[in-house]
Amino acid sequence: MSQTAFERYAPFIREYIYRKQWTYLHEVQVESCEAILDTDHHVIIASGTASGKTEAAFFPILTTLYQKPSDSMGVMYIGPLKALINDQFERLSGLLEESYIPVWPWHGDVSQSVKKHALKEAQGVLQITPESLEALLMQRPGDAVRLFSDLRFVIIDEIHALMGIDRGLQVICLLSRLEKIAGCSPRRMGLSATLNDYQPAMDFLAAGSDRKTVAVGVQTHKRTISLCAESFVLPGDSAQAEAVMRQYNDFLYENCHDKKCLIFTNSRGGAEKVIADMKELAQKKRDQDVFYVHHGSVSASLRHEAEAALRNKTGPTVAAATLTLELGIDIGDLDSTIQVGAPYSCASFVQRLGRSGRRTGKSQMLFVDLHDDSNRNPFDSLPWGLLRAIAVIQLYLEERWVEPFNLKPKPFSLLAHQTLSTLMTYGELSPKKLAKNVLLLPAFRNSISQDEYRQLLHYLLENDYLQRMESGGIIVGLKGERLTNHYSYYAVFQDEQVYHVHSKEGEIGTLDNCPAVDEVFVLAGRTWQVQSVDEDRKIIYVHPVKNNRIPSWSGSGGNIHTKIVLRMRQILQEEALYAYLRPKAVELLEQARCFVKETSLLQNSVIPYAERSFFLCPWVGTKEMQTIKSLLACGLKDILQIYSISGGRHYLQVTSDLPAQQFVEKVKRLEIDIENPDFVLPNGQFPKIDKYDMMVPDALLRKAFLYNELDVPGTIEVLKGLEINAQSFTMNTRQ
């Protein structure tokens, strides 16, 4: 054990380590101890799953509180999930029981009596969600002063889950507002297992602060990785398809039913489907039902039941989950993880892989892909899911690469939200003071111009979100009051309009759409029939039955980075064999490689298909593909004589009066104003994408779409690089 770090810890921490019978400190814990105790910097702590990041932050921080108690809360821990806060509360309670340092949870599920007790004591560690901190600063700024006047540290857990989205920008704004309101200047600690390039995380953590930031990164801790990937091809013939589905489900069942295992899917419906199929097989085989579902539409109590089963049961336990179990909730040691369908990102893959082998040091993941081969479109014959799975794996194995995080260039929705929040805190402010308070927040300091903010304020005043007083000052208007008085206001992510599903046993979960009376559906791994619906209260009353019908939820697939798509292309180009591929996956990959060689697919970005019709396959990510669609459907439609555009995630089929060769030549000569929304949006179209876009004027909505959702400069370079064979050919549909 490293005596240097160990001896510096407070006595109660050393005693805790002895009780746990730890024989050494992880490298990240030693380095974090030095960074926290020997500097005054913010600190990024980046290390693999189960490497002791939480202790790496808390041990030295709690030591400083023990040696020099704070006059208020000394530590604020910000967690992205209430479940993660509850989990960390249990861990900290055991650590702090002999320290006389209290720990307080503070979120929507915590009782008012606990919060009152925390306000009265105003000491120790406060664990809070971004939304509850927003509510505190807006509604109870005086209490915020009492709680945080001598705040020393802020710990942001799973910081990667906040970066690059409005919720993360909200957190950084909240910290700046808190420092101003409470007069404190806490150091910030960011924890993550999913960082490659530390600099963006360091910049994000330090936003709005004058302190330096250092990174403690240990990504080389010993961990064995065992990977396996298999594919099943679903043919167009229905009888054959049924046989393949039986093989697919049997394969899944044999690889999970006798293990402690997490099955990750890319959708809530996918999680429900796989567990419904596994339960059906278990019943046929007369095996024990050990299957659970865990996603955002399953009630909190049933999610806790699944977590407890994974954590505490000694026998087999299988849960299908979405991103709700990606983050660091303690679910004990798993035998393996299964990924159904390819993950959309390397970051997600790294998180999911790290859920197994936390104690043994051996992470196991099985990829299972179901390729639909029934579509007659030649591009759809490519096994995109298998290719993406291999690309994600190879990028991690070869480079330890994960997606970079980019701040939103024009966060107008958040700007409107923080404007109302600021006025709720201070009451009346002059336009000048309001602009100073808001535009100096880190999310807007370098991205929003004074003219853009002036446009926003005029719109908010005209539409009664704000009101101008006779004195010239500005307050929250009647429409703004109705908005800010609702509990949903504190969150900047989109709220789903949902129906709550109840049985005699209590709440089961939620649905986006209301099924008809007597309709049957699956939720939380069980089958229910609708008895009645209370439309006013949005409650569906159900009772259990036997049947399987998976409900649908809103939402689209995840975004794919261009680097993953280019690696997919490289996989088709190279002849490498990957040791983790099972026979069916190898066969499917070889067929795909033969197909692209026969069609010269990889040598052409534009492939003639039929008269006046061609495929566009630029090998770019989701954002760039969306930009191409927007340009071709709007600003370039008439210039390029385009009749129609259709296609999938990786290709477009374009019908134009121009032959493919002339189309490419004309694209190369185009001059496009990259700052003009008219090139990507039809007149009269004002996309409302973010939660508070209804408070944003039309001109700014168009600008937000251009800058936030698209990459026009990068995509123009892609379009100008389009190539076509001098000797064109026609790809035949498969019979």
Q: How confident is the model at residue 552 (pLDDT cuts 50, 70, 90)?
A: low
Please give the share of the chain, as a percent, with pLDDT higher than 70.
Answer: 95
**Token match 């990024």: residue?**
44
Asked whether the beta carbons of 5 and 63 are under 8 A apart, the reply is no
Q: Is 404 exposed, middle or buried (0-12, 13-18, 19+ CB in 10 A)?
A: middle
Count of beta carbons in the 10 Å neighbourhood of residue 275: 25
Q: How far is CA 227 from CA 263, 274, 340, 393, 483, in A?
A: 14, 21, 14, 9, 49
Q: How far is CA 488 from CA 308, 411, 560, in A?
A: 29, 19, 30
Give the C-alpha separation, 109 to 86, whole Å.
10
Count of beta carbons in the 10 Å neighbourhood of residue 610: 12
Give the residue with greater pLDDT, 610 vs 358.
610
Q: How confident is the model at residue 222 (pLDDT cuts 50, 70, 90)?
A: low
**Closest CA relative to residue 132, chosen from 104, 159, 153, 92:** 104
Q: How far is CA 705 from CA 125, 127, 178, 621, 690, in A?
A: 40, 35, 31, 17, 10
Strands of 494-577 (E only): list them.
Answer: 499-503, 506-511, 520-523, 526-534, 539-544
Q: C-alpha angle 449/454/458, rounded to 5°? A: 155
Please give the share of the chain, as a percent, with pLDDT higher than 90.
Answer: 67
Give the C-alpha separation, 533 to 11, whole Å.
58
Edge-first strand order for the sheet with 317-321 is 224-234, 362-372, 336-340, 260-264, 317-321, 291-294
Residues whose CB falls within 8 Å of the CB of residue 420, separated by 6 or more in sequence, listed in order? 465, 466, 476, 480, 483, 484, 695
- The pLDDT value given to residue 237: 78
Give the C-alpha separation, 191 to 493, whole Å.
22
* Average pLDDT score over residue span 297-314: 89
Q: Residue 732 pLDDT > 60, yes or no? A: no
Pairing of strands 124-128, 291-294: unpaired
Q: How confident is the model at residue 531 (pLDDT cuts 50, 70, 90)?
A: very high
Q: Residue 15 pLDDT > 60, yes or no? A: yes
**pTM confidence score:** 0.91
Asked whether the beta carbons of 356 and 329 are under 8 A apart, the reply is no
* Average pLDDT score over residue span 225-242: 89
Q: Residue 459 pLDDT > 60, yes or no? A: yes
- The predicted-structure confidence for 563-621, as pLDDT tens digits, reads as follows 999 999 999 999 999 999 999 999 999 999 998 888 777 877 888 888 888 889 999 99
Give the C-alpha separation, 28 to 32, whole Å.
6
Give the C-alpha separation, 95 to 190, whole Å.
20
H/E stretch holding 363 reads: strand 362-372
H/E stretch holding 268 reads: helix 268-285
Residues whose CB falls within 8 Å of the CB of residue 221, separated by 6 or more in sequence, listed in order? 26, 27, 28, 47, 48, 51
**Closest CA relative to residue 663, chosen from 706, 622, 704, 604:** 604
Q: Residue 729 pLDDT > 50, yes or no? A: no
Q: Residue 104 pLDDT > 50, yes or no? A: yes
- The pLDDT value given to residue 193: 84
DSSP bridge pairs for 224: 362
- The pLDDT value given to residue 86: 86
- The pLDDT value given to residue 734: 43
H/E stretch holding 37 reads: helix 27-38
Asked whether the beta carbons of 420 and 483 are under 8 A apart, the reply is yes
* Average pLDDT score over residue span 161-174: 95
Asked whether the beta carbons of 357 and 223 are under 8 A apart, the reply is yes
- The predicted-structure confidence for 306-336, as pLDDT tens digits, reads as follows 999 998 878 899 999 998 888 778 788 889 9
Q: How confident is the model at residue 239 (pLDDT cuts 50, 70, 90)?
A: confident
Give the C-alpha separation, 340 to 624, whole Å.
26
Pairing of strands 260-264, 526-534: unpaired
Mean pLDDT of the chain: 91
Asked whether the beta carbons of 85 and 64 are under 8 A apart, the reply is no
Give the C-alpha separation, 404 to 349, whole Å.
14
Give the C-alpha separation, 351 to 264, whole Å.
11
- The predicted-structure confidence for 251-285, as pLDDT tens digits, reads as follows 999 999 999 999 999 999 999 999 999 999 999 99
Residue 505 tokens read as 């046993």
Q: How confident is the model at residue 187 (pLDDT cuts 50, 70, 90)?
A: very high
Reduced to 3 states (helix: H, G, I; strand: E, B; else coil), residue 184 is coil
**Closest CA relative to residue 558, chosen from 317, 338, 267:** 267
Measured in degrees and rounded to the nearest 5, phi and psi for residue 520 equal -115, 140
- The pLDDT value given to residue 684: 82
Q: C-alpha angle 272/273/278, rounded to 5°? A: 100
Q: How far is CA 471 from CA 154, 428, 468, in A?
A: 39, 10, 8
Q: Residue 415 pLDDT > 90, yes or no? A: yes
* Residue 494 DSSP symbol: P
Give the residue with greater pLDDT, 197 vs 454.
454
Give the C-alpha separation, 510 to 540, whole Å.
9
* Letter string b/e over residues 702-731, b meaning 16 or more CB atoms within 10 A of that residue's CB: bbbbbbbebbbeebbebbeebebeeeeeeb
Asked whether the beta carbons of 218 and 182 are under 8 A apart, the reply is no
